[in-house]
Amino acid sequence: MFQRELAAIARQQVHLSQGGLSTSELAGWLKTLSLDQLAAFADGRLATTPECSFVLPDVMLDNTEEFIAREQPDRKTSAMPAPAEIEYTRDTPLEPPRELLELTRMLAGLSTSASVGDAVVGGSFGQASYRLSLLALIGETNIGPELAPLADLPLTLQWGDDMQAVGRGEVARISAGRILPQQNNDESPAA
């Protein structure tokens, strides 16, 4: 261990005084002394420094943070703004889309078969495609309360393989199909 410390001193190459004494020369001089001479030389000159094992590092860190915060009073801090007052709308019932209500009313009054194109096309392409997607829910049993009136209608859908020309309401053609009241479900789809 002593040899390691001497090598570390020699590597530093520091001049220790104005007289030109270097760490290499000091290491060389210490190597010439015997162990008894070194012990006698160090006797009374080295102070023992106790380790502060009673001070915990996390406590020292907390104290340091408090000290730094106290010594920098004009340090800028930012805070989140207070939350905005909002109105909860959980109890507000949602109205179903107008297209759903109109389609349900129209299909509920259906006494004879009708073309799918005549039932769903009207208004814009978006409205027609929404109505067409609602037809798939007719006859469904596991459905939400807003769609239940449409699903419970006593209707049957029959689809054909052809396309039906429409030419109105932003729809050029639509899949050929018929909506049949259940008492008239023996009719064939329109071509």
- pLDDT confidence bin for 169, thresholds 50/70/90: confident
Round the CA-based radius of gyration of the chain to a whole number and report it.
Answer: 46
Given a cut of 80, whether residue 123 has pLDDT beyond it is yes
Place of tokens 């905005």: 84
Query: 103: buried, middle or exposed (CB in 10 Å: 19+, 13-18, 0-12)?
Result: buried
Residue 28 · residue 21 · CB < 8 Å: no
Mean pLDDT of the region 128-153 = 90
Q: What is the pLDDT of residue 2?
A: 64
State the average pLDDT for the chain. Answer: 80
- pLDDT confidence bin for 55, thresholds 50/70/90: low
Mean pLDDT of the region 132-155 = 90
Q: What is the pLDDT of residue 13?
A: 64
Residue 166 · residue 176 · CB < 8 Å: no
Given a cut of 60, whether residue 46 has pLDDT beyond it is yes
- Does residue 37 or residue 50 have the better pLDDT? 37
Mean pLDDT of the region 127-153 = 90
Q: What is the pLDDT of residue 132?
A: 92
158-165 contact pairs (CB < 8 A, 24+) = 158/185, 158/187, 158/188, 158/189, 159/116, 159/189, 160/189, 160/190, 160/191, 162/191, 164/115, 164/116, 164/117, 164/190
Mean pLDDT of the region 7-27 = 70
What are the residues facing 168 on neighbouring strands? 171
Mean pLDDT of the region 2-17 = 67
Q: What is the pLDDT of residue 191?
A: 43
Distance of CA 104 to the CA centre of its chain: 39
- Which range has the worst mean pLDDT, 42-51, 66-75, 128-137, 166-175? 42-51
Place of tokens 């340091």: 64
- Does residue 89 or residue 36 have the better pLDDT? 36
Model confidence over 60-72: pLDDT tens digits?
777 888 887 777 7
Edge-first strand listing for the sheet containing 171-181: 114-115, 171-181, 155-168
